[in-house]
Chain A
Amino acid sequence: MKILDKKVLAEREPRIVYLEVLAEEICKAFKPGQFVILMVSEVGERIPLTIVDKNLKNQSISLIFQEVGLTTKLLGRLNKGDGLYSLVGPLGNPAEIKNYGRVILVGGGVGIAEIFPLARAFKEEGNHLTTILGARNKDLLILEEDLRKMSDEFYITTDDGSYGRKGFTTDVLKELLESSESQGDRYKLIYAVGPIPMMKKVSEITQRFKIKTLVSLNALMVDGTGMCGCCRVSVGGEIKFCCVDGPEFEAHLIDWTELSLRNKIYEDKEKHICKLYKLVT
């Protein structure tokens, strides 16, 4: 649980931070799409984070997160040599990786970190890979070069137009799907990871084109082993647990409205504790 390396990938707040963490067992068992649950300290929360990569030589895994809540802020304060209080995983089901043919990956914000292991795995299976990355601005864009190298086609959008095309990932997605439709060169899978509104929009677009679409959800969790039910989400009218049934689900079956409401259950408390924390530090 010792931190072997740390890099700040995006300096502008909310910062995006990369950590390489010693995890002898987890690194051996990890498959793309899986996550860990960690605690920064004894008084901390248990939060889920997607595993971005493994390094078997170092017996480590790498994590990338944005400092959006108290726990991620505290995590971002740790340095090389520090230890986590607890780390468990790999949790969740591995992503459904196989040769689909033509695949589009859509990554938004810190969700790009989760796209990274998927891109490599899809490429290894011989898929034709189109990657669309989106960030609020140039400074918050991560892993651009790594993903560019793996992709057959590559697009970048920023909300403010400070880099790449001004606009949203979904704008590019829509155009690609429209032109492929007219050329009869269909995409077989769309995989999206990012903020809920982005994934919801992706789902709406691809539903029109009737293309299989998978998303990796980042629901609130406590134990991560199917025990508490905090991470429940409605998929095809059934209750599923993000931790043990997911985190990957068919986008078209998800009740997105419910999911976004459930992810805001503790918004007030989060704001409160972040404010308090600012006062004392």
Chain B
Amino acid sequence: MKGPVKIKELLPSERIRSFEEVALGYSEEGAQEEAKRCLQCKEPKCIQGCPVGIDIKKFIFEITQRDYKSAYLTIREKNNFPAICGRVCPAEYQCRKFCILNRNKDKPFASPEAINIHFLERFIGDWGIKNYQNLTFKIQNSKFKEKVAIVGSGPAGLCCAGELARQGVKVVVFEALHQLGGVLRYGIPPFRLPRPILDFEINYLKSMGVEFITNFIVGKTKPLSELEKDFSAIFLGLGAGTPSFLGIKGENLGNIYLANEFLTRINLMSAFKFPQFHTPINIGEKVVVIGGGNTAMDAARSSLRVQLGQGLKPDTTVIYRRTEVEMPARRLEIEHAKEEGVNFEFLVQPVEFIGDERGFVKKIRALKCKLGKPDSSGRRKPFPIEGSEFEIEADVVIIAIGLKANRVLTSATPQIQLDKSGDILVNPETMETSLKKVYAGGDIVGGEGTVISAMATAKKASQSILNLLSL
């Protein structure tokens, strides 16, 4: 049996000189070879690993037949954004983990032998973008007169908009920022998700008649109750927009960023092009990123690029309380970060930030950790070792330890019911909130997740909205 087919990638030394995409994907022959590795299981398990239930077996078979159009349509039947998900899905924790070829039985993620389903999806997604002109999707002649409002233009909002627009429903999307895409725009760097891909998907929705209104904060610019008058249904895709803190001394010192701020300055405001772009960002000679998820990887890899762009020697270190196996980041991002020169220090827990006389961070006081038994997340819990204290030099620190619910709309809308962590409570069958005809999906329901899981809940909500409108 042939081994997994690698994708083309930019060389690490080239990568860190720009924010260009790192993973270049499969050539046609590469995709053919990889698709042929699929055993076409009689009872494929991979599909149950996909939050939106793409018929993976079918689209891979269609690739082997070089029937890319069918493969594209097969994916799009379940997933509106194959070119995006093919790039950002943590496939090794999802579909690939269920692949019969996966040899990692004791790890939370798949081994390299599992079929590279995400790369194949991306190949097809990109094929669709190139051949978009020749593909016509039937947009139902509108039998609906009602309008639906979508709050937030991130993965959940875009997905819900697409699902409804396909059925001929008039959709208006409200976005707080001046650009569309939510976390896909401000959070995920272009070296993972090139902006033309995102723009393509948004323009595609526009061509289906979806209306977008930027610079509009529901709950501030207009209360939700006003929207309830103007729209037959509302979908809330507010996202997990509030950063978490470590809760240790010195966290507000200068040059301690939350990853959201660091990435927003770079991705949304193009601060790496300062002063041509006017938003500044401070980078240092020694940058330390705290956390082990995708956001931490994005921040660390962005940091290297900004360091180099400002004529500094790249020196960025990720510190994480557990070890590499427990890191929740995609394996590919960890590999890419290592190849690019990001340093990793595992089993380290910061306990205090120490500043200089001007109020900027200069050191982190930290403890070494050891791993105990698995906790509720199934990962082994870290314990700080007494007396193991040491110091890490750092002139810029980026905290990437997770996000909580965005509070802007919910605090302005006291009648909507929330859970303890501030997420919106929904009926899991319909995604309807405690307010009638108001639905929610994505990270504002159940907390921080992935792009694809946000899409899954958004799709469920869109189905409920369609049912509601069809009554």
Which chain A residues numbered 221 to 245 have a C-beta less than 8 Å away from chain B?
222-223, 225-230, 232-234, 239, 244
A272 and B275 contact, Cβ closer than 8 Å, known pairs A46-B269, A223-B176, A227-B406: yes
Which chain B residues numbered 303 to 346 have a C-beta less than 8 Å away from chain A?
none
Q: Is A45 a contact of B261 with CB atoms below 8 Å?
A: no
Q: Is B278 a contact of A228 with CB atoms below 8 Å?
A: no
Tell whether B12 is near chain A: CB-to-CB under 8 Å. no
Q: Is B274 a contact of A269 with CB atoms below 8 Å?
A: yes
Q: Is A262 a contact of B359 with CB atoms below 8 Å?
A: yes
Which chain A residues numbered 18 to 42 have a C-beta less than 8 Å away from chain B?
25-26, 29, 39
Tell whether A8 is near chain B: CB-to-CB under 8 Å. no
Q: Is A276 a contact of B264 with CB atoms below 8 Å?
A: no
Chain A residues within an 8 Å CB radius of B222: 25, 29
Q: Is B274 a contact of A273 with CB atoms below 8 Å?
A: yes
Chain A residues within an 8 Å CB radius of B275: 269, 272-273, 276
How many residues does chain A have at the interface if contact means C-beta atoms less than 8 Å apart? 43
Q: Is A265 a contact of B282 with CB atoms below 8 Å?
A: yes
Chain B residues within an 8 Å CB radius of A227: 186, 241-243, 260, 264, 406
Tell whether B137 is near chain A: CB-to-CB under 8 Å. no
Chain B residues within an 8 Å CB radius of A44: 278-279
Give the complex CA separation of A257 and B282 in angstroms.
21
CB closest chain-A residue, reference B263: A228
Chain A residues within an 8 Å CB radius of B280: 266, 269-270, 273
Chain B residues within an 8 Å CB radius of A262: 252, 254, 359
Give the complex CA separation of A85 and B221 in angstroms.
17
CB closest chain-B residue, reference A260: B359
Question: Whole-angstrom distance from the CB of A165 to the nearest CB of chain B?
Answer: 34
Q: Is A226 a contact of B408 with CB atoms below 8 Å?
A: yes
Tell whether A71 is near chain B: CB-to-CB under 8 Å. yes
Question: Whole-angstrom distance from the CB of B250 to the nearest CB of chain A?
Answer: 10
Tell whether A48 is near chain B: CB-to-CB under 8 Å. no
Of A50-58, A87-95, A167-175, A181-189, the stretch lying at the interface with chain B is A87-95
Tell whether A13 is near chain B: CB-to-CB under 8 Å. no
Question: Whole-angstrom distance from the CB of B232 to the nearest CB of chain A?
Answer: 21
Q: Is B358 a contact of A222 with CB atoms below 8 Å?
A: no
Residue in B216, B220, B241, B258 with the greatest tally of chain A CB atoms within 10 Å: B220
Give the complex CA separation of A110 and B88 in angstroms.
46
Chain B residues within an 8 Å CB radius of A87: 215
Q: Mark A207-233, 1 if CB is under 8 A from B, else 0.
A: 000000000000000110111111011
A229 and B277 contact, Cβ closer than 8 Å, known pairs A89-B221, A239-B252: no
Q: Is B243 a contact of A261 with CB atoms below 8 Å?
A: no
CB closest chain-B residue, reference A243: B408
Chain A residues within an 8 Å CB radius of B360: 265
Tell whether B48 is near chain A: CB-to-CB under 8 Å. no
A265 and B254 contact, Cβ closer than 8 Å, known pairs A43-B277, A227-B241, A273-B278: yes
Give the complex CA separation of A228 and B222 in angstroms.
22
Give the complex CA separation of A264 and B242 in angstroms.
24
Question: Whole-angstrom distance from the CB of B182 to the nearest CB of chain A?
Answer: 10
Give the complex CA separation of A223 and B275 in angstroms.
19
CB closest chain-A residue, reference B178: A86
Label chain B's interface by main secondary structure.
loop
Q: Is B241 a contact of A226 with CB atoms below 8 Å?
A: yes
How many residues does chain B have at the interface if contact means C-beta atoms less than 8 Å apart? 44
Q: Mark A249-268, 1 if CB is under 8 A from B, else 0.
A: 00000010110011011100
Give the complex CA separation of A244 and B245 in angstroms.
16
Chain B residues within an 8 Å CB radius of A228: 243, 258, 260-261, 264
Tell whether B141 is near chain A: CB-to-CB under 8 Å. no
Give the complex CA separation of A272 and B278 in angstroms.
11
Residue in B245, B270, B275, B406 with the greatest tally of chain A CB atoms within 10 Å: B275
Q: Is A43 a contact of B270 with CB atoms below 8 Å?
A: yes
Chain A residues within an 8 Å CB radius of B177: 88, 223
Q: Is A88 a contact of B215 with CB atoms below 8 Å?
A: yes
Which chain B residues numbered 70 to 88 have a C-beta less than 8 Å away from chain A?
none
A261 and B359 contact, Cβ closer than 8 Å, known pairs A45-B269, A88-B216: yes
Give the complex CA separation of A71 and B277 in angstroms.
11
Q: Is A223 a contact of B264 with CB atoms below 8 Å?
A: yes
A91 and B220 contact, Cβ closer than 8 Å, known pairs A222-B261, A222-B265, A276-B275: yes
Q: Is B254 a contact of A222 with CB atoms below 8 Å?
A: no
Give the complex CA separation of A89 and B222 in angstroms.
9
Tell whether A70 is near chain B: CB-to-CB under 8 Å. yes
Chain A residues within an 8 Å CB radius of B437: none
Task: Point out the residue from B178, B251, B255, B282 that lies within 8 Å of A39, measured CB to CB.
Answer: B178
Q: Is B265 a contact of A239 with CB atoms below 8 Å?
A: no
Tell whether B276 is near chain A: CB-to-CB under 8 Å. yes
Q: Is A266 a contact of B282 with CB atoms below 8 Å?
A: yes
A86 and B221 contact, Cβ closer than 8 Å, known pairs A70-B278, A266-B280, A273-B274: no
Q: 14 more A-B contacts (CB under 8 A) besides A225-B176, A227-B241, A234-B252?
A: A44-B278, A46-B178, A85-B178, A88-B221, A91-B217, A222-B268, A226-B407, A227-B264, A228-B243, A229-B261, A244-B408, A261-B254, A262-B252, A276-B275
Sample of 28 A–B contacts (CB below 8 Å): A43-B278, A44-B278, A45-B269, A45-B278, A45-B279, A85-B178, A86-B214, A88-B176, A88-B216, A89-B221, A90-B220, A90-B221, A91-B217, A222-B269, A223-B264, A227-B243, A227-B406, A228-B243, A228-B261, A233-B252, A239-B245, A244-B408, A244-B411, A258-B252, A262-B252, A265-B282, A266-B280, A266-B282
What are the 5 tightest A-B residue pairs by CB atom distance, in nearest-first order?
A: A261-B359, A228-B261, A269-B280, A86-B178, A229-B258
